[in-house]
Chain A
Amino acid sequence: MLRQEGSIAQNIKLKRTRDAVTSAIQAAIDRLTQVNKIPDNGLVLFCGENFDTNEFKCFMFSPPEKVPIFFYRTDKSFHTEFLEDMIEESDVYGLVIVERDYATIGILKGARVQVLEEFEGFVPGKHMMGGQSQRRIDRIIEEMYANFLKEVGEKVNAFFLPFVENKKMKGILIGGPGYAKKDFYDGDYMDYRLKKLVLQPLFDVPDQGDAGLKELIMKAQDLLKNQKYVQVENLLEEIKYHLAKDDGLVIYGIQDIRKALQMGAVDSLVVYDEPGSELEKLAQEAENYGAKVYVIGDELPDGEWVKKTFGGAIGKLRYKVY
């Protein structure tokens, strides 16, 4: 099949794209010919060149769970969506932020917060109006508002019901500025199965988008104590607090952390995710010493800070070590 694709690729007009696709297909064929038996969980193969960095990458592996489908695609990016579920923690929380004319729908899985959709409703404000038809216009505005809430409900249903059906949805958080969230919850805009999952109270959240979702989670942290996102964020906030106070309760640098571990002084440790590195070893050691270890990547706002500023590992101490 790949050979056939290879000859189709000869028809691509842009030379650069044609070359990239052809070499990706050839690389895939080369790798496949080395495999004599398909593993039980199936086989996954990604090949391609990144035009920005001119890097050519090819990955072949057998995933931790059975690959559910046969899928072949030539595209701008790697299609990992079928695999994501395998590495995801299965608990999912639905997130909704709704106000009069704007809404964000998202999910929280483990340490990942994801915006599914952010959209605006065309509910006009007040200032273009006045005069004769004032009341009529006010009524129309209220109607548009109700229609917008309906649209939000429909989208929430479409996004969240599949999670309910495969029993992954643990709860739904609703937030937003002012009263629209209450109107949304009270009105019958959501499917009854989703409504049952809504956690109380509804939260006051002034922002939308990614920032709004993160605020919603942090405001609901008491309900989400066991979520990795909340735990790591709280730990990092605590670390920053001690850093700002400069009270010696924070430790970084692989050498210093190792020393503190040996003294049994490390309470918890945040390590940047870098497979095969010294950091990975450190995380393993820390676990052996009984410290709470959180491995984080760039999905958290502070991932980059931990990596760049502290060489990828920073911990909170039980007591001052020097």
Chain B
Amino acid sequence: MSQKPHLNLIVIGHVDHGKSTLIGRLLMDRGFIDEKTVKEAEEAAKKLGKESEKYAFLLDRLKEERERGVTINLTFMKFETRKYFFTVIDAPGHRDFVKNMITGASQADAAIIVISAKKGEFEAGMSAEGQTREHIILAKTMGINQMIVAVNKMDLTDPPYDEKRYKEVVDTVTKFMKSFGFDMSKVKFVPVVAPAGENVTQKATHMPWYNGPTLEELLDQLEVPPKPVDKPLRIPIQEVYSISGVGVVPVGRVESGVLKVGDKVVFMPAGKVGEVRSIETHHTKIEKAEPGDNIGFNVRGVEKKDIKRGDVVGNVQNPPTVAEEFTAQIIVIWHPTAVSVGYTPVLHVHTASVACRISEITSRIDPKTGKEAEKNPQFVKAGDSAIVKFTPIKDLCVEKFREFPALGRFAMRDMGKTVGVGVITDVKPKKIDIK
């Protein structure tokens, strides 16, 4: 593997705004996709009469994705810039697949948000139901602070390559991101045309009014987040493979601690112990993995049925916490009526999504002072912040935000919409036998 520092990058944004196309173009320009794959994608696009989508086909490989022209599953690819080694995660923009996007975001250090400047498309993404808006909120919730905003489809503005439209998009998005607490010095904007590669790796020929860096140059301005190597090990599981002759291979990103070959690890909530036989990242064997590494690791002693997405791996001496109940401070960002005791949204924490019942609303918090405004309110509504207790409907691993940020923040979703976000302040652990 490359000696350059490693960053996980997710590409997000409203459906059809050009995420897959942009990444396909970037990777192809720099030769990170082999010839054969490029040919295959071109042919497949031609066959379906969708030649314009050949770049997206480099990432959208499922039959379902190609025929329907949308991304469904996360795609992980690797590439390098001058300064960094990247794992890039192409996320789906379709509203039905927001849960896949959240899983990806929980594993990323930085994001590119692709926003179409085309009339109507930009507005759809920023509407109350739009995913430009929702993805920005979710990325922030999952701990992403560094963001590159790629204002795409500049060839389709009216008139084409319109600087005024670009400014309008930048202003609207800036306002919205500020209201969600982004530090705007870590957010960068660039106008692009994905299929033509304008401002991707090469300066645009049609936008002389823009003198800033290209997308690729902006990638080199990102910063590597600190690595909590001294903390106990935590790896939320993103997927599990069972490979014949090899055994079980869970896949996930190390959030804290260090994993070494030979380590004894425990899978929670199952409580199963196994021994790490090998670790690999992007088909390269490594001896140890650190925070930020996306790894697949082969373990002896556990079976496929013992592990699933959303489980967390830790050391036997300091296993991940399974919650009987936990306390969180939430903000209700969208709800048609009111949130009350008994309300059971789906909580997305790290790679897990589990329905959790609100068993108590301890207090409503005044957003201005951060102090208690009302004790045990009957309900809270959109715009309110509150301290609540959740009881997970199924076993769920969570931690206090203060101790393990990546495992202590969550999004609340219901009826296909994000209703709120929260951080965990306290966890009442459930006793799990370790076997």
Interface residues, chain A, CB within 8 Å of chain B?
A: 100, 120, 122, 124-128, 130-131, 134-135, 138, 141-142, 145, 177-180, 183, 204-207, 209-211, 215, 218-219, 237-238, 240-241, 243-244, 300-305, 308-310
Contact = CB atoms under 8 A, between A and B. Distances in A.
A207 B413 contact: yes
Contact of B414 (A126, A131, A210, A211): A211
Tell me what chain A mostly uses at the interface: helix, strand, loop, or mixed: helix
B239 interface: yes
Given A237-B337, A243-B379, 16 more contacts: A125-B239, A128-B296, A141-B62, A142-B62, A177-B96, A177-B97, A178-B70, A178-B96, A211-B345, A218-B415, A243-B337, A301-B357, A303-B342, A305-B340, A305-B343, A310-B378
User: Which residue, A205, A211, A243, has most C-beta atoms of chain B within 10 A?
Assistant: A211
B98 interface: yes
Interface in B60-105: 61-64, 68, 70, 72-76, 94-99
A210 B340 contact: no
B98 A211 contact: no
A204 B99 CA distance: 14
B337 A131 contact: no
A85 to B, nearest CB: 26
Contacts of B34: 131
21 contacts: A100-B64, A122-B304, A125-B73, A125-B74, A125-B239, A126-B74, A127-B75, A130-B283, A134-B61, A135-B40, A177-B96, A178-B68, A179-B68, A205-B416, A211-B346, A215-B415, A241-B338, A244-B379, A301-B344, A304-B359, A310-B378
B221 interface: no
Contact of A206 (B74, B99, B344, B393): B99
A296 B74 CA distance: 42
A54 B239 CA distance: 42
A122 B355 contact: no
B97 A206 contact: yes
Contact of B346 (A130, A207, A309): A207
Nearest to B72: A178
A302 B76 CA distance: 41
A240 B99 contact: no
Contact of A244 (B343, B359, B381): B381
Contacts of A179: 64, 68
Contacts of A130: 37, 283
B120 to A, nearest CB: 21
Contacts of B413: 206-207
Contacts of A304: 341-342, 359
A219 B416 CA distance: 11
Nearest to A118: B394
Contacts of A100: 64, 72-73
A207 B99 contact: yes
